[in-house]
A and B are shown apart, each in its own frame.
Chain A
Amino acid sequence: DVKVTQSSRYLVKRTGEKVFLECVQDMDHENMFWYRQDPGLGLRLIYFSYDVKMKEKGDIPEGYSVSREKKERFSLILESASTNQTSMYLCASSAYVINEQFFGPGTRLTVL
């Protein structure tokens, strides 16, 4: 069974903290994605990676960075968390030969 897992379902951090969100997939997928989901705005792509150590900016990369040292793991980093980064963060993965993305359960991040 296809599985994408995220390290936390809920996270509360303080302004200025460095935050790591982890995503792991067990499907040997080449592509991995980070989105944020906000009410009324849908899903917006932050970063994606099409191979180990490769990354591309999405639509809203400001304030975020990513790391992909292993094929199965894709990390989203908030270097200095701010209150406007309070959101739901979704990770997804897909294979080269298909376009369907498989999603993780999401991490609801609150920055105080």
Chain B
Amino acid sequence: AQTVTQSQPEMSVQEAETVTLSCTYDTSESDYYLFWYKQPPSRQMILVIRQEAYKQQNATENRFSVNFQKAAKSFSLKISDSQLGDAAMYFCAYTRGGSNYKLTFGKGTLLTVNP
């Protein structure tokens, strides 16, 4: 069974600085997708960034980027120029490609941004 591990239950960062959230996963599949979701306090979960396993290039969305290390099965999220609005619970998630669209989530990392 696929597993997703987020080893950092909590992280903190100073406003305007950079922080990296870790995620590792375990799979024997070659076709899969990885995601980072953000859940702000008392607000809806939203997608931050996605990575297709077949793509070698790391995904980037504005201040958010990933470091996808396929051989190491590592998928970390880097947040640059951290803002107060980045404070949230972040979940790493995996899904196998094909017709099965179930997501497997990690346990989450709570990010605090200090002014």
Q: Which residues of A contact B (CB under 8 A)?
A: 31, 33, 35, 40-45, 48, 50, 58, 90, 94, 96, 99-106
Contact = CB atoms under 8 A, between A and B. Distances in A.
Interface in B76-107: 91, 95, 97, 99, 101-103, 105-107
Contacts of B102: 33, 45, 48, 58
B38 to A, nearest CB: 11
A13 to B, nearest CB: 21
B62 interface: no
B106 A42 contact: yes
Nearest to A48: B102
Interface stretch (B12-20, B43-51, B66-74): B43-51
Contacts of A43: 91, 103, 105
Contacts, number: 50
Contacts of B6: 42
A41 B89 CA distance: 12
8 contacts: A33-B102, A35-B105, A42-B107, A43-B105, A45-B102, A103-B45, A103-B46, A104-B44
Sorting the interface of chain B by its residue count into under 10, 10 to 19, 20 to 34 or 35 or more gives 20 to 34
Nearest to A90: B45
A100 B35 contact: yes
A42 B103 CA distance: 12
B33 interface: yes
B44 A45 contact: no
Contacts of A44: 105
Nearest to B1: A59
Given A40-B107, A41-B107, A43-B105, A99 B44 contact: no
B107 A99 contact: no
A50 B101 CA distance: 9
B44 A105 contact: yes
Most chain-B Cβ atoms within 10 A of its Cβ — which of A42, A45, A48, A96? A42
A38 B50 CA distance: 24
Given A48-B101, A90-B45, 18 more contacts: A33-B102, A33-B103, A40-B9, A40-B107, A42-B6, A43-B91, A43-B103, A43-B105, A44-B105, A45-B102, A94-B101, A101-B103, A102-B47, A103-B37, A103-B44, A103-B45, A103-B46, A105-B44
